[in-house]
Structure 1
Amino acid sequence: MATITANELKTKGITAVDTALAEEPTVQITVRGSAKYVVMRCEHYNKLREQELDLAIRESRAEFERGDYVIESVEEHMRRVLE
């Protein structure tokens, strides 16, 4: 992952980010030597979100196939969740 300092971002602006993203899919921005932010193109972010949602669907289907679910009314559900 490419790294840009906060000072470099301040002086070079978005050009520093664009240059780093031309080489790597993500860029880490450091503040006072510590990693603080990660920047990526929207296309990369959307791909990650899609993968995350696909995983959630697979996990839900596996739970359903195992019978790991509860059938209950809204009132019962709220009682169970809030307790």
Structure 2
Amino acid sequence: MKAITANELKTRGVASIDAALKDQDEAFISVRGKDCYVVMDVETYNRLRVCELEAALYQARQEIADGKAVEESVEEHIERIKKL
């Protein structure tokens, strides 16, 4: 994955991000030689977000299937949380 230095980003701005994302989906931004951030185009972000939501849905369904879910009213939920 290509890295954009903080200095390059400061001097070239968004053009440096555009160049880095021309041939790949994401790029690191490095600060003082250390990779600190990742930039990506919106399509890649949205795809990853959908994957994250699907994983959370899968996990919730698995917990329900395993009997780990609790069905209760809002009032019961608040009382249970207060006791923790």
Residue aligning to 1:38? 38
Q: Measure how far apart 1:73 and its partner are.
A: 2.2
Q: TM-score, normalised by structure 2?
A: 0.88
39-48 vs 7-16, greater mean Cα deviation: 7-16
Aligned residues: 83
User: 2: CA distance between counterparts of 1:37 and 1:63?
Assistant: 33
Question: Stretches of 4+ moved more than 2 A in 1?
Answer: 79-83
Q: After superposition, give the CA deviation of every residue in 1:32-64 in whole Å (9 maximum; x if it has no partner).
A: 122221100000000000001111111111111
Matched residue, 1:80: 80
**Separation in structure 2 between the aligned mates of residue 4 and residue 81 of structure 1, nearest angstrom:** 46
Matches within 5 A, 1:10-29: 10-29=10-29
Provide Cα deviations, 1:10-31, integer angstroms capped at 9, x if missing partner.
Answer: 1121111111101211111111
Partner SS for 2:65: helix
TM-score (norm. length: structure 1): 0.89
| Separation of aligned partners in 2, 1:73 and 1:12 | 55
- 5+ residue gaps, structure 2: none
Q: Give the secondary structure class of the aligned counterpart of 1:68.
A: coil
Seq. identity, %: 48
